[in-house]
Copies of this chain bind each other. A is one copy, B any other.
Amino acid sequence: MLKLYSFGPGANSMKPLLTLYEKGLDWEQNQLDPRKFEHHSDWYKAINPRGQVPALWDDGEIVTESTVICEYLEDEYPTEVKLRPESSYGKAQMRVWTKWVDEYFCWCVSTIGWHRYVGKMVQHLSDEEFEERVKAIPIPEQQVKWRNARAGFPQDVIDEEMRKIAVSVKRLDDHLRDNEWLVPGQYTLADICNFSIANGMQHGYPELVSKEASPGLMRWIEQINDRPAVKRMFGEVQREIVHENEKR
């Protein structure tokens, strides 16, 4: 039996969720609540010492890192639905796109998300309560990010991340105006991993992501939202709202 430890359907947690639904695998859902900092609790750090979701439990073995989990599911569970190209060159193209999400695209979008929503989750806490929570975070860089999110990121950081978001949107849109999918000819983990970050930007960044501003990207976002597996996933996996600003 597979068990997935994740948050709701957004960002890195969405990658394995979509992969599991597309492949139609049997698995057990273990949804952690970010508002309770469950991913920094001792029981979860016994599963992933880095205190990060998602993590996949497969018969006693634990796989971490969302992109690695997606390829693991392809390696270990070869279903009729293939989310990775057959050709070596196609695999390489897919990995260039998944690597780009992890090294560039996800970070700028994440910082702005933390700035807008996540930081607000901890503003009701006293300094002592907040530092108590920060102490439980095993990755020093994540501690710094939480402190920045609570205090408010400096404006030059916000400006730079917004610049990177515009670069990212243009890169995706340029490609998707001429191609149905990121790897030509096939819906793959490249689409799943990029969509997991890009979906919702039509609401959060309407000046950048819209039918007018980025028609290729918008068409692709809508086309993925129309997939039966994606609809099923959004229907079944509960989304958490970390702050009311995020509601739409």
Q: Which A residues are closer than 8 A to B by beta carbons?
A: 58, 61, 63-65, 67-69, 71-72, 75-76, 88-89, 91-92, 95-96, 99, 102-103, 140, 167
Q: A99-B102, A102-B99, A103-B103 are in contact. Are A92 and B63 (CB under 8 A)?
A: yes
In the assembled complex, the CB of A172 is this many whole angstroms from the nearest CB of chain B, namely 16
Q: Which chain B positions have C-beta within 8 A of A92?
A: 63, 68-69, 71-72, 75
Q: Which chain B positions have C-beta within 8 A of A69?
A: 92
Bound-state Cα–Cα, A72 to B96, Å: 11
Bound-state Cα–Cα, A95 to B102, Å: 13
Q: Which chain B positions have C-beta within 8 A of A58?
A: 89
Among B63, B91, B99, point to the contact of A72 (Cβ < 8 A): B91
In the assembled complex, the CB of A159 is this many whole angstroms from the nearest CB of chain B, namely 13
**A99 x B61 contact (CB < 8 A):** no
**B63 x A99 contact (CB < 8 A):** no
Assuming A65-B99, A72-B88, A75-B91, what are 4 further A-B pairs, CB within 8 angstroms? A61-B89, A67-B95, A67-B99, A68-B95
**A96 x B68 contact (CB < 8 A):** yes
List 16 contacting pairs A-B, 8 Å CB cutoff, sorted by A. A58-B89, A63-B89, A63-B92, A65-B96, A65-B99, A68-B96, A68-B99, A71-B91, A71-B95, A72-B89, A72-B91, A75-B91, A76-B88, A99-B102, A102-B103, A140-B167
The CB with the most chain B CB atoms within 10 A, among A71, A92, A95, A103, is that of A92
In the assembled complex, the CB of A24 is this many whole angstroms from the nearest CB of chain B, namely 18
In the assembled complex, the CB of A185 is this many whole angstroms from the nearest CB of chain B, namely 15
Among B88, B89, B95, B167, point to the contact of A65 (Cβ < 8 A): B95
Q: Which chain B positions have C-beta within 8 A of A89?
A: 58, 61, 63, 72, 76
Which 9 interchain pairs have the tightest Cβ spacing?
A76-B88, A75-B88, A72-B92, A68-B95, A63-B92, A61-B89, A68-B92, A65-B96, A72-B88
Bound-state Cα–Cα, A68 to B61, Å: 25
Q: Which chain B positions have C-beta within 8 A of A71?
A: 91-92, 95
Q: Which chain B positions have C-beta within 8 A of A140?
A: 167
In the assembled complex, the CB of A192 is this many whole angstroms from the nearest CB of chain B, namely 16
Bound-state Cα–Cα, A75 to B91, Å: 9
Bound-state Cα–Cα, A152 to B207, Å: 37
